[in-house]
Structure 1
Amino acid sequence: MIKGIYTAGRSLDHRIKNIDVIANNLANLNTTGFKREIPFSEIINQYGEVYVRKITSQQQGEILQTSNQLDLAISGKGFFLIKGEDEKIELTRDGRFKLNDEGFLVNYDNKKVLGKNGEISIVESLLGKDPKIIVSRSGEIKVGDKIIDSIRIVQVENDNELQRSGSSNFLPDENGYKDALDDTYSISQGFLESANTNPILEMESMIQLNKEYETAQKVISALDTSLGQANEMGKV
């Protein structure tokens, strides 16, 4: 009976974590490039130990037009590389880019976007006669006829197991990353990728989890009552 209470208690904890995951998915419905988390799954490893793993769905979100020349969206596989002031490298599908005061291409959080030649500096090229920035589908950046660099797009081996560093950003896994093949992605200038969260499916999952949570609570209550009665009988 005590084992039953323990099992039901673990079930409650499991459901609470899943509800938190779904709540976070719903909270990021309008976050550019956000990738929904799939509710927790318990896994038994080769030593018989149980641990909880979070999985991220890397399914592509809808590509929406913004007409901003520095908004970029990836179609297909791959991530943009960004680097913060602490030199930490992150992966992201959030292509809301801009130029900082020094002329470097940065994301909304002022982290530098990396190209195949490193940090991308554009400001000097914008002083010419044709300041329009053109980004090709392969990621090549041109100002007028001058090629500046190419946006670096990378892939990882297990992208559904990446750890988040922010709402739409991830840290490279232990295997690092490699440059994506040209035929596995394309870049759309003037577009952004929306979150891949489906609010209807998330709400259905939330309702189901709440029902399961209530059921587990009732089981614990019933087992607790039975255990109390058994203890009273033992005292007679």
Structure 2
Amino acid sequence: MMRGLYTAATGMNAQQTNIDMISNNLSNVNTTGFKKSRANFQDLMYQQTRQPGTPNAQGEEIPVGTEIGHGTRMAATQKLFTPGSPQSTDNPLDLVIEGDGFFEVVRPDGSTAYTRDGSFRQDSDGRLVTADGHPLQPEIYIPEDATSVSITSDGTVSAQMAGESEPNQLGQIELVNFSNPAGLNSEGRNLYTETVSSGQPMIGVPGEDGFGTISQGYLEMSNVKVVEEMVDMITAQRAYEANSRSIQASDEMLNTANQLRR
């Protein structure tokens, strides 16, 4: 059986995975804080029929060898944490991180997760929570009689209370960062969790020690660029077609061999 049939099949499988990644990116083009993924591929093992440097019959050294590859495979899927464009919402509880960092939230089972989605709101107790009800850490409570809420670039939360001339400070928003954000585990629902590859979480104040600042009344849109994804999709489709043509050519060669007669 011709080796090229299986080699081209690995190429078709790789491009199918590539299309899967592109489709997910495009489907989340309007997801707040979404970070696009990229499929990384690597070539498979090679069959070497002659090693470089092997002496020929005359004892001379052969400068190059003979090796035949066996296709490609997906090596990893990588999250790209380039910033998305901020969008004005005029909602005082919408926050965007301008720079590096994540918001820390607590899930119902008590585990910690991290997000770039700053679309917060109040629960029945006045806590700042995500759309799924996960409270922001450290917890911030907004009193019922607060007439306005102000959040500065360093994460200081203040509220103007009815009948008072000076605003009251309610708390401090902290950010979390990792030495390797691409190593975080994507949990869905705009949440990430820590892994061994991501490193330990580093907690800090917005605007200090390399952490980004916070802007109130904005949300970070996804970093997906539709035009780039469409170009990547066309490239993947053409590569898929080229690999299918290789299979067709191999099949035609086998058919020709089968038609040989003595």
Q: Same fold (TM over 0.5)?
A: yes
Higher fraction of helix: 1
Q: Deviations over 1:94-134 (max 9, x none)?
A: 1000001122211111111112xxx3332xx333xx53111
- 1:140 and 2:163 are equivalent in the alignment: no
Residue of structure 2 equivalent to 1:173: 195
Structure 2, unpaired ranges of 5+: 45-72, 161-166
TM-score, normalised via structure 2 length: 0.78
Which residues of 2 match residues 62-77 of structure 1 at below 5 A? 62-77=85-100
Counterpart secondary structure, 1:164: strand
Structure 2: how far apart are the matches of 1:32 and 1:152?
Answer: 20
Aligned-residue offset at 1:204: 0.6
CA contact (8 A) 1:37 1:56 kept: yes
Q: 1:43 to 1:67 in 2, by over 3 A?
A: farther
Residue of structure 2 equivalent to 1:210: 237
What is the alpha-carbon root mean square deviation over aligned residues? 2.1
Moved >3 Å (runs of 4+) = 228-233
Structure 2: how far apart are the matches of 1:167 and 1:85?
Answer: 14
Aligned length: 223
Residue of structure 1 equivalent to 2:40: 40
CA contact (8 A) 1:17 1:40 kept: no
Aligned-residue offset at 1:4: 1.9
Moved more, 131-140 or 16-25: 131-140
Find the partner of 2:141 among 121, 143, 149.
Answer: 121
Structure 2: how far apart are the matches of 1:64 and 1:151?
Answer: 21
Aligned-residue offset at 1:39: 2.7
Structure 1, unpaired ranges of 5+: 45-49
- 1:12 and 2:28 are equivalent in the alignment: no
Larger Rg belongs to: 2
**Which amino acid is the alignment partner of residue 221 of structure 1?**
Q
Find the partner of 1:94 among 109, 114, 117.
Answer: 117
- 1:57 and 2:80 are equivalent in the alignment: yes
